[in-house]
Amino acid sequence: MIPFEEAHSFVLSSIETLRPQTRRINDALGSVAAEDIVAHEAVPGFANSAMDGFAMRSLDTLSPPTRLRVVATTLAGNAPASRVSQGEAVRIMTGAALPDGADCVCRIEDIHVDDSSGEIVVSSVIATGDCVRQPGEDIAVGDLLVAQGDVMNPPLLGVVASQGRDSLLVYPRPRVGVLSTGDELAEPNVELGPGEIRDSNRPLLTGMLQASGFDVVDLGVALDDYDATLALLEAATQTCDAVISTGGVSVGDVDHVKSAILALGGPRARWMQVAIRPGKPFALGVVGPRATPLFGLPGNPVSTRVSFELFVRPALRRLAGHRDVDRPRFRAVLDEPMARSSDGKLHVVHVEVCVDGDARLRIERVARQGSHLLKGIAGANALALLPDGAGAAAGESVDVVLLDEIRVREMNS
Ligand code: AMP
Ligand code: MG
């Protein structure tokens, strides 16, 4: 058996980030930027009004009330209106360029119009810069707007667009093929024959992949036949950016996936017995000229979940160009003891964590364990990592990997 950390670094060191491609901004949410983007246009590009109101000279307003003559109206999109001279104002709408001579805007709500003369009356001092958006206030020319490795979130998409661009260079969202293997797997909507079971792993993996922002290619089911498995996996590595297969990687009589991955990856393949439970058998081959990673995960659904979370998801995030590939890891206090026996392995236990009134993470519930007990882990939102030994007592802390949202526990419960 090899330690978890060694297997984890082997997996990550095998992965090459995908070749960048140009993507439309509207399709780039969640992608990782593959270029630095430096501002060549200031935002705002010109001084403009932050309010609907009147542009004027602050100097004119120093002894209120001030009467000003309205000499023009200017709207967003208009070229700057004629100059504002002493005693004058320009009616201005939000976003319109500030006329030359004006240095402040008084809101429409704060103005009184004298109906007899048509003049406006300003009843307070308006300071220079009031209600004016200054050029370059948000973005100055030369600012670094997006750094390679940044994840494109909605504000960043808008920032890139503010430079007059409609696309950017990103690392592609990996297309990940998902294959189940085993003669025992029956199709949905048909009655089970003797010894047959349903395929839980494909929906499980599909969901985990989608939740992590990857595209899924359904590769169906392969029977326990070496040649068929090899052909299917080889074809998949040519059309997908990564391939995940479940089952057939242990030491059983028909565990052909292991042999197929070793054959396809050659010197760039490794089958491992990792010192974790569940998820001990694991295979990775890097296949073909595009260095496509091909993962062989254990067949038991909970083992598949654990291998995916600890090895495959970080690898896929590296493929997609992410800087942080692992899920966040914290310490959490046990509400109840967590017993285990010593077996040389790191135990990976599905748990439910919450945040208590003191903002401490607590492990409220430990899921029923068993690598075949998929329903038992459905409510879990974290994986507790219990080192080899006799377990942990209530009140002790253990490492947890957060998988999902955390409930906040009320103060007095
Ligand atoms: P294997 O490693 O292929 O021997 O599979 C280990 C266990 O996982 C066996 O009990 C299989 O029947 C089960 N298993 C394999 N693939 C799936 C799947 N797609 N869905 C549910 N159980 C599976
Ligand atoms: Mg099998």
Residues with CB under 6 A from ligand 1: 180, 182, 184-185, 197, 199-201, 246-248, 250, 252, 298-301
Q: Which helix (H) or strand (E) holds 346?
A: strand 346-355
Rounded to whole angstroms, the Cα distance separating 212 from 161 reads: 25
pLDDT at 413 (0 to 100) = 52
What is the pTM assigned to this prediction? 0.93
pLDDT at 412 (0 to 100) = 62
pLDDT at 82 (0 to 100) = 82
Residue 357 burial by CB count (10 A; 0-12/13-18/19+): exposed, middle or buried?
exposed
Which atom belonging to ligand 1 lies closest to the Cα atom of 247?
3
Best probe residue, ligand 1, of 178, 181, 183, 197 (max atoms within 8 Å of C-beta): 197
pLDDT at 410 (0 to 100) = 76
Q: Which helix (H) or strand (E) holds 176?
A: strand 175-181
pLDDT along the chain (413 residues), means of 10: 98 98 97 98 98 98 98 96 94 98 98 96 98 98 98 98 98 98 97 98 98 97 98 98 98 97 98 98 97 98 98 98 97 96 98 94 92 94 97 97 89 61
Nearest alpha carbon to residue 31 among 145, 173, 128: 173
User: Which residue's CA is minimally distant from atom 6 of ligand 1?
Assistant: 299
Q: Within its chain, how far is the Cα of 409 from the centroid?
A: 26
Rounded to whole angstroms, the Cα distance separating 262 from 286 reads: 9
Judged by DSSP in three states, 77 sits in coil
Phi, psi at 295, each rounded to 5°: -100, 135
3-state secondary structure 240-264: CCEEEEECCCCCCCCCHHHHHHHHH
Rounded to whole angstroms, the Cα distance separating 63 from 143 reads: 41
pLDDT at 408 (0 to 100) = 87
